[in-house]
Every structure is written in structure tokens, then in C-alpha cells.
Structure 1
Amino acid sequence: MQLSDHRIKNESPESKSGAFFTPNISPPTFSGTISLNHCCFSLSAYHDSLFKEHNVYFPAELDRAFLKRKAEFFAGRYCAKHSLLALDGTIADVHIGPQRCPIWPAHVVGSISHSGNQAIAVTALKENFRGLGIDIQYEVDAKTYTAIKNQILFGNEHEVIFSGSELDIRVLFTIAFSAKESFFKAAFAEVGWYFDFSAVSIKSIDQEGKIIHMCINETLSKKLVVGTEFQAEFRHAHDNKIVTLVRLH
């Protein structure tokens, strides 16, 4: 479907996809010229023949992978395939790149994420965005928060994120963590190397508008330089999940 009317496509697979997919789960929604596809699935219902049944690319390196890895890969690529189809009718396999990043058609930017029994993919035309990043996460538990908080947040980010908020600390931390993950995915194709969470800072979180204001702390590319400000968006999803999206213009 061509997005000439500038409306988003937010889709989930229907029940005809069989027992692997959980029907009637509303996907998170974002506005704009993007195509998003989301699914919930049952790990116990996974079987290798799903790849053939749904015409999804099965890489040789998955042959010896654990069942969980196969199910997550299938669900993510299924979402990617249907996101592309809804975007502009593109029919394409999304292969694995040399740095394990998805290889999108030349005219498209996109991102894939999965967490637990959910997967999500988003695509857009390259003429509209330089990069897209999407991430889905469980709300972190208290033990995980304590273990990793100082690896994710730096300087005054703790104070910025947590002061004056009615949301649980763990929810806010998950939003911040996920937003940084989404930025990494959106920027990686342009940057070309792995950078730390300290490369970007959370400046504020607009809980009503579901917007995260962020700033780049170190020059990552010719366009992603120190002081560059950008936004991430967040949504609450099914089963206590947080979804964040970064669009680089």
C-alpha cells in the first residue's frame, strides 16, 4: 500500500496465521509516514515449517539455533516482511548483515525488535527518514534496575528522569533504556560502529505527550554531532511492555 496519504499502517497478524500467533492483540500505534507490524506469539507452537508456510527467509545459521532463537527470528522477520508489504507493496526478504543488522531494500529504512513473546518491525521510505529505530522491552524488575542503572544512565540523567514523576522508577528507567536502544538502531547504519549508552543523554520525558527529549554527547557522524537534539516516542504495549521509536530526519 502506497502511503501517499501520509497515514501510518499499524498491523498485527490475524488468527488465520495459526496457533503460533496470538490473535486480537492491539499493536502500539505511532503517527506519521511509517509502516509498523507487531505480533504476539506462542513459543510452544513454533515449528520450522512456519518459515516455508509464510514465505519467510530461513538463514543457514539458524539450523542449530535454540528453538527460542528460531521463534524470535521468525516472528521478527514475519513482521518485517508485512511491514514492507504495507509500506509500498515491497516483497523482499530481510537478510542478516555482516554486523548482524537487518539488510533492508535500498529505498527503505527499518528496524526490528523482540522481547519475550512479542516482536515488532517498522519501515519507512528513505526519502522521509535517514534512520529508524524501534525497541520493545519488558518493564525491568528491581534486581535488573539495580544491576544495570549505572551502565545506562550518566551524570544528572537519574535526577532528570525520576524527579517529580508519578510513574514507577522501573517504568521510567525502562523508557530511558529503550529509547537509547532505539537511537542506536536508528543511527548504526550511519555511524558504522558500536557506541556506548553515554553517547546520548535523556534531557526530559514528557509523560503526557509520550515524548523523550534527547541530546548527543559525542560526535558519531558528520550529521550526528555533539549537541544535536532529537526525540524518541514511547508507548505502553500489551503485557507490561514498553515500545520506543526514534526517527532520524
Structure 2
Amino acid sequence: MISSHPACCTPFDTTWPFPWELPGAVLRSCRFDPALLAADDFPRSAILAPANIQRSVAKRQAEFLAGRLCARAALQVLTGRFEAPTLGEDRAPVWPVGVSGSISHSHGLAIALVADSSQWRGLGLDLEEPLACDRALRLAEEILTPAEVERLQGLTPEQQAQRITLTFSIKESLFKALYPLVGKRFYFHDAELLACDAAGRAQLRLLIDLSEEWKAGSELEGWHCQFQGRLLSLVAVAA
């Protein structure tokens, strides 16, 4: 299939941003500008735009297009096939059989990660613009458990904002990694960030039962880093 790269998206970046490798995984990112989105960019790029995307504003269209283009570029490396994930009824990406993946976008940057599901059966990736101190503190109780709020004590306002941003992001990554495995929605207060360090590691714990395998008390490792001025977090569930 012949397609062209739209002017609203930059060429793909192949940089792996985390200090640890994820064997077998392929990541692609690009920047996008909604102001440069053309009316025919979806068909020219050979990306199907679902009805709800067609009706949406330019920003939503551009971020969807950029995310799917990153996903397709990563899938081509992984599988050798020219395909992009479709959109499920639950609005989550539907990946090709045998593939796990995740897409995220934030303020003009899109990123996608894919892997063979026989190696990584759950992947969750999330990009976030750092929260300003006042906004972070306003949102804290919506995002953090009481124990997480208590751990903010002793941190400077800037450190508190960083911790709240990280907690938000890595819980989003946790949801993306586990939702395809459990088929059940869960929310910010259903998991807890136990620990994180400057090297980029994080430890998470579930606070509710999601399935026979994923019960309250289950712990998972996560990673985080700075990537092009944003916080990037990752949760990967090994097969």
C-alpha cells in the first residue's frame, strides 16, 4: 500500500528513552502540529479515521493520526506488515493478533510501543506534561491514595508536583498494561505508587482484585524518565 507522510507530523524518532532496555520491544515517536493537518491527511496516510475522530477537532485528529502512524512504523519493524491498530468499542487500540502495544500523546508529541505478546503480554506507556505546583496540589486527592498523600510530606512544592505528575502518569500506564489482560476498568485509587527513585524505577501495588491472577496486593515494576520535556512512564508485564 502506498502512503505519504503528512506535513503535520515530523519524521519518526527511534530513540529509546529509558535507562533499561525492553528486549524485543520497538518504540517510535514523532511530533505533530494540528495547525498543519490537511483535510485529506488520513486517506493519504492510509490511516482509517473512525467516525468519532472524523467529527472531532483538529487537535484530536492530529494526535490520533500521529499515534497511529507511530504505531504502524513500530509494527512494521516488529512484524514486517503494513498495519495500524484499529479503535475498539471501548476506545482502546485493537492490536494485531500476537502483538501487545501502547500509544500515548501529549502537547504535540506522540509515541507508540509494540512487542510480541509471547514476550510482553501487557504494555502501558504514558506521556504527561509536568503539572504546575498549584494544579498538582488541587488534583492530588483525586489521583493519590491517603498513603500517597502522606508521603508528600517533607517534599518541596516542586517535588510534590513532580511526584503527583508521576503518580498520575504511571497509574495511567498501569491501566493500559493490565486492562487488556483483565477486561475490567479500574481507577486511580485502586492502585498505589509504593516507591520511586531518581534512576527511573517505580514500584506499584494493586489495592483491589481485578482477576484471579491480578489480586489486591499484587506488585508490579514501572519505569519513568524525562523525554522531550515531558514525563514518560512505562509498565510492562512479561509473558
Q: TM-score scaled to structure 1, two decimals?
A: 0.85
Matched, 1:232 2:232: no
The CA deviation at 1:159 is 3.9
Matched, 1:21 2:9: yes
The CA deviation at 1:21 is 2.6
For residue 211 of structure 1, what is the aligned residue in structure 2?
A: 201
For residue 197 of structure 1, what is the aligned residue in structure 2?
A: 188
Q: 1:115 aligns with which of 87, 103, 106?
A: 106
Q: Deviation string for 1:158-209 (max 9, x for gaps)? A: 344665689732122211110000000111112222212111111110212x
1:36-51 matches, within 5 Å, as 36-51=27-42
* Cα pair distance change 1:137/1:44, threshold 3 Å: same
For residue 96 of structure 1, what is the aligned residue in structure 2?
A: 87
Q: Distance between the aligned counterparts of 1:167 and 1:28, measured in 2?
A: 27
Paired residue type of 1:218 = I
Structure 2 contact 71–113 (Cα < 8 Å) conserved: yes
The CA deviation at 1:17 is 4.0
Q: Distance between the aligned counterparts of 2:14 and 2:28, measured in 1?
A: 11
Give the alignment's Cα RMSD to 1 decimal: 2.2
Structure 1 contact 132–248 (Cα < 8 Å) conserved: yes
Q: Secondary structure at the match of 1:130?
A: strand
Q: Distance between the aligned counterparts of 1:219 and 1:80, measured in 2?
A: 31
Q: Distance between the aligned counterparts of 1:60 and 1:202, measured in 2?
A: 37
Q: 1:69 aligns with which of 50, 56, 60?
A: 60
For residue 169 of structure 1, what is the aligned residue in structure 2?
A: 160
Query: Is there any run of 5+ residues in structure 2 with no aligned partner, and where?
Result: none
Matched, 1:245 2:234: yes
Q: Distance between the aligned counterparts of 1:233 and 1:110, measured in 2?
A: 16
Structure 2 contact 130–230 (Cα < 8 Å) conserved: yes
Question: Could you tell me the percent identity over the aligned residues?
Answer: 30
Q: How many residue pairs get matched?
A: 232
Q: Deviation string for 1:50-87 (max 9, x for gaps)? A: 22332222223322211111111101111111111112
Paired residue type of 2:217 = G
Structure 1 contact 39–79 (Cα < 8 Å) conserved: yes
Q: TM-score scaled to structure 2, two decimals?
A: 0.88
Query: Is there any run of 5+ residues in structure 1 with no aligned partner, and where?
Result: 1-15
The CA deviation at 1:93 is 2.8
